[in-house]
Chain A
C-alpha cells in the first residue's frame, strides 16, 4: 500500500459509513488533498456548504465576492502550486459566472475542479428558480463535465474529475450536482481514479520520432527552440535546460512559457510574439530547424502563419495530438510528455555550439536595447514608464516574486521586463486575454504559495472589472502587493487606435475613481505615487507592509508598447517604433 492510499484512508474516517451526498463531496475533496476551496454559496449548493461547516478545520474556504473571482482565484492557486484549483458555485447565475474562468482555464490548460449546485432532479427542465443548463453551457469550455443526480455517483465522479483535470494536457472540469443528490444518503467509499479506457493522457513516445528529430537537430546550422507552458506543466524545466545546454541552441519563450527557464540563462534569448523581443521574432524566419516544446503556435506568436518560419523544418514536442499540424506543419512530431521527450532527445543529440547564430540574437538584442529598452527603463521624459516600474519591482524582489498580471499594455510590459529565477512565477491570462483576471488570480496565487512574495500588476481598466475582490483579500488578509499602472486609458486598445485607427480614441479614455480611497474603503492599505524620485520609497513601503497593500502608480498616458508585430503581419515585419 502506498503513502497516498494511507493518507486517503486516514483522512476519510467515514469510509463505508452512511453519509449524505453533500458530506461525500467534502470527504472526496479531502481524499484528493484539497486544502483550499474558492467559492460562493447559494440555494442549490447549500447542503454542500452545510457539510463543509463541519470540516473547516481541515479545509480553508475562501468566500470571494463574485463567482468569477472564485474561479480566477482557483486558477491562480493552480498555476502557482501545480495542484488543481477547487471552486464551488451555486446553480443558475452562480454557474454562469464561472464561464469566463472556465474558458480561460481551458485555453491556458489550467487544472480546475468546479462543483456547481443544481436544482433537484425532479425539477430539471421545468425552468425552476435559478435553473440553468450548466452542462450544455459549459461543454465547449471544459475538458469534461458531468451531471450527478445520485449520491452513489459522487465519489467516482469527483475521482474522475481530479484525474481528468490534472492528467495529460490539464484543463477545467465541471461537476453539476443536483440538490436531492446532495441531501440523499448512501454508503460512502472513495477510490482514486487511475485511468479509464477512452482516455490516454500520456501518449507513449515513439523513439523513432525522437531519433528523426535528433538527426535534424544534429545537422542543423541555425536551430532554434521555442518553449511554452508545456515545460512547466510537465515539470520539465531541468530537462529543457539540459537539452539547450548540451546542444547550444538559443531558446525563446511564449507568454505562458515565461519563467520555465531563468531569465539570465545564457541561452534564454527572450520573448516571442506580438510584443516579444526583436531577435526572437525576426530570427524565427532565419532558423533552419525550429524545435517547439509544449507550445501551440498561437496566432499572437506566429503573426501571419503563411509567412511563418517557412524556411525551417519544424519539430514539435507536444502531448496533445490535436495540436500537431494545427497551425504550423511539422516535419517531425514527438508526441508525449515534454519531460520524457526532452530527456530522450537530449540523449540522442550531440553536444554542440552555435556561437555565431547566438551572436545574431545578441546583435538584435543590442538594437532593441538602443531603440526601445533604454528609453523604457531610463526615460528622459518626466512621466513614469511602465517598464521602469516593473524593473524596480523586480530589483526589489530580487527576481524571486510571483508576478501576476492582467491583460493589456501592462501585461506585455511586465512579461517583457520582469526577470525570473524560479518556474511557476509568471501568472497571466494568455489565450483568452481575460481582463479582470489578475486581482483574484493573485489572491489565489498567494494562498497557493504563502511563502512567496506575490505581486499583482494591473491596469486601471482591468482592476475595475474585479475590484470587488479587494473585499476577499481584506477578509482573508492575503498579503498580495497590488500595483495599479494607471494611464487613465484602456491602453492597448488606445495604442491600436493610435496606430491603426487614425487616433480615433473611441471609448478608451477612463475617468477613474480615487483608487487609494476605494482600496482604503475595503480596509486595505494603499498609496499613490506620481514622481520618479518617490517610486523606490513607495515600492519599499509596499513591500515592508506585512499585509495586503495597493500602490497606484500614475504612468504616462499615451505610451506604446514596442516592439510590435502588427496584427496580420509577418514576424519579421516586427516594428521597433
Chain B
C-alpha cells in the first residue's frame, strides 16, 4: 500500500506528515553546513551554532518558557525525564505521581525507589490526575499534562499554583500536549517535551526545561565545547547538561517546526484536532458495541481517542484497521499504570490520534473502516 493511501492516526506516537520545512532544514544542515555547533569557531561551526540557538529561542517562544538557555536538547522526552528525576531526587526524597504516568516516568522512578527515593501516588481526581486541593507534602510532584491513554488533560495552571504555595517542585511530562495544546507553565519547574509529536519535529529530538534555580546533578558528562580545561562540567547552561555533539540536523528540523507552529499557532491546531476528536467520539460513542473512556468532553482531552470493541482483542482490531489502511496504535501504549486505572490492563485498547495534518476526510475513512471491522 502506498504511503499516500494510509490514513495516519498515530500522531500521539509520532506526528506524520511533518511540515515540509522540517525535512528541508534537516537536509540543509547535513548537506550545506555539517559542522559541529559550539565547538570550532569557523563559519560553518558558527552557522551550526546559530541553528541550535534559533531553535532554542523559537521553542521557548511558542511554549512561553523563560531563560531559553535552560532548554536542554535530548534525544526524546524520556531522556530528559531521566535527567530530571535522576538529577534532582536523592535517597529519602518523596515524590508523588499521577495515576496515569507513562513508563518514561515509571521506570526511572522504579530504579530510584531501589536507591531509597520514596514514590507515592498523589490524591487524584476521577480522571487520575492530581487534585490541586490535595497536593501532598513531597519534594516533587510529577504529572502528565495529558494522558497518552485516556487523553485526560491536567489543569496544570491550578496544580502549579497549588504546588508553588506548598513549595513542591512540579515536573510536567508534556509528551501529549507540547505543540498541540496551550499549556500554562507559569508555575511549572521542570517541563519534558518530545520534539517529534505535537511539536512536529524529527524523531530523535526532544528537550527538558528547568526553571532558573532548579539545579539537577549532571547525568551525561563530557565535552561541551566550553571550560575545556576543567574536569568538571561547565557551570553555564545549556553547556552544563549538553555533553557530546548534538543532533544538529534534528534540532534544525525541530526549530523549523517551531517556526511553523508560531505561524499556524498552537491554539488553531488545538481547535482543529479537538474538532476531529469530537467527530470520532460522537460517531464511536453512538454505537453500543464500542467502549470509550472518560473524560467524554473533547475539550478536556488531548488529541487522542482510545476505545475497545466488545468481544474483540484490540490487537485484532488494529490489524484489521491496518488492512484497511488505517494507522492506529493498540496495546498498553507504554503506560500500563494508566490502563490499570481505567480497567483495560492487560489487553489495552485501540488508540487513534489525529494530528495537525489530519483531515476530516481521513476521519471519515477511519469511521468507514470501523464499520467494516465490526
- On whether the two chains bind one another, the answer is no
Interface residues of B (CB under 8 A from A): none
